[in-house]
Structure formats: C-alpha cells, structure tokens
A and B are shown apart, each in its own frame.
Chain A
C-alpha cells in the first residue's frame, strides 16, 4: 500500500463547477496535511494546509480532513481554466519530519 494515494486522473470539470480531489494516507499517526498545485513544467506551490478534522476554507478552496477515515480532500469552487494543473496531496509522516507526496491528480477545467 502506498503511503499517500491519489487518483491520477485526468479529472475533467466544466468551468464554473466544483472540482473535488481526494487523497488517502496510510500513516494513522499523521497530523499535518497539505495540498500543492503544480503547473506543467513548474515546481509545486502550496495552496492549503490542514491539521484539524473538518473543513478549512480559503477563498475558492476548501480542504477537508477526516483522520478516522485517513482521508483528505480538496474542493475548488467556481473552477477556472487557470485551475488546470496537477494537484499533489502531501502528508507529514508522524515518526519523522519527512513530507510524503502522492502521485498527483491531473485536473482539467474545460471552458
């Protein structure tokens, strides 16, 4: 079992709709979770982090965390073509300070 799993996609969403990205992780002790966005040919950049169960909202982005189910998600409301990118879920490993990334979900927003 991979430490951090994501559906590779591509996920195609019409402009203006809600994009939902999902991630599961294997380390039950993990406490910190991150969503990075990576445009093609560019380096990842942080868009959200979440530590507590529940929802965290920042503009059009909402991160959701369920530690009991070991599940993290990212919702993007009012999707824009500029949101087309690969979204990487990352988890801070509980027994060390290393951050493990999933393989990423490729999101495409169609006009």
Chain B
C-alpha cells in the first residue's frame, strides 16, 4: 500500500474485554514498531520487529500485552483483559530496515493510529 495502514481507527470497549489492533506496514519495509501515546503525552515504545522476530519486547507494559508479526508484513497487537489505563492512541510505524542499519536513516513512517477507549 501507499502508507502504513492501521485498523480499527477507533475502538471503544468495556473493561475486561480483549482487543486486537492491526498494522499493515509499507510494502517492503522489514522493520515495524509499536508505540502508545496517551493524551498530551509523548510516544511510549512498546515493541519492534525485524521481519517476524521481536528482538526487544521490553516496552510492553504487562503480560496482558502481546504482539506478533506474520509473513514479515502485518502485525497484530493484542491487549487482554483491558483496563481503563490502556486507553490511548496506539501508533504503528515501519521503516525499510532496522534503525541504524545500512538500509535506514532511522526515519519511521507512521500510520494514523488506533484510538482505544476502555470504559
């Protein structure tokens, strides 16, 4: 596709429910990043993938959060048993290669985000 695509754009759920957020990166981009942005705050690093592998999961807030990537393309971020503090915009970004690698200046191309509201 032309850009990074995220779905759903908006999701309202009840506390305790599970949610899945999807990210479809720019075709050919091997690196994929997930961030969380609460209202008026900066971007909180969650996880990144190189291909289907996630070398660094240190940013995932708790074991309720998990992410996977298949076929080196689409990624899914799953939040189980959602809590009100999970409410935020979840941003996905892709890049041609890992930041700092030979293919990449480090520029991240962001999707429009998935706004999650937990009631």
* Interface, chain A (partner B; CB < 8 A): 6, 31-32, 34, 42-46, 49, 88, 90, 92, 96-104
Give the interface centre of A6, A92, A102 by most chain B CB atoms within 10 Å: A92
Contact status B110-A97, CB under 8 Å? no
Which residues of chain A are within 8 angstroms of B33 by Cβ–Cβ distance?
A: 98-99
By beta carbon, the residue of chain B nearest A3 is B45
What is the bound-complex CA distance between A45 and B110, given in angstroms? Answer: 7
Segment among B68-76, B78-86, B101-109 that sits at the interface with chain A: B101-109
Residues of chain B with a CB closer than 8 A to A88's CB: 42-43
CA distance A101 to B106 in the complex (A): 13
Which residue of chain B is the closest to A96 with respect to CB atoms? B56
* B43→A44 contact, CB < 8 A: yes
Q: Is the interface of B mostly helix, strand, loop or mixed?
A: loop
A-B contact count (CB 8 A): 62
Q: Are the CB atoms of B107 and A49 closer together than 8 Å? A: yes
With A and B bound together, what is the CA distance between A34 and B31 in angstroms? 17
B96 within 8 A of A: no
User: Which chain B residues lie closer than 8 Å to A90 at the CB level?
Assistant: 43
Say yes or no for B55: interface residue by CB 8 A criterion: yes
* Interface members, chain B 87-119 (any A CB < 8 Å): 91, 98-101, 105-108, 110-113
Q: Is B50 an interface residue (CB 8 A)?
A: yes
B110 interface neighbour in A34, A43, A49, A103, Cβ under 8 Å: A43
> When the two chains form their complex, are residues A97 and B101 in contact, meaning their CB atoms are under 8 A apart?
yes
Closest chain A CB from B116 CB (angstroms): 15
| Contact yes or no, B42 A103, CB < 8 A | yes
Q: Is the CB of A43 within 8 A of B42?
A: no
A71 to chain B, nearest CB (A): 18
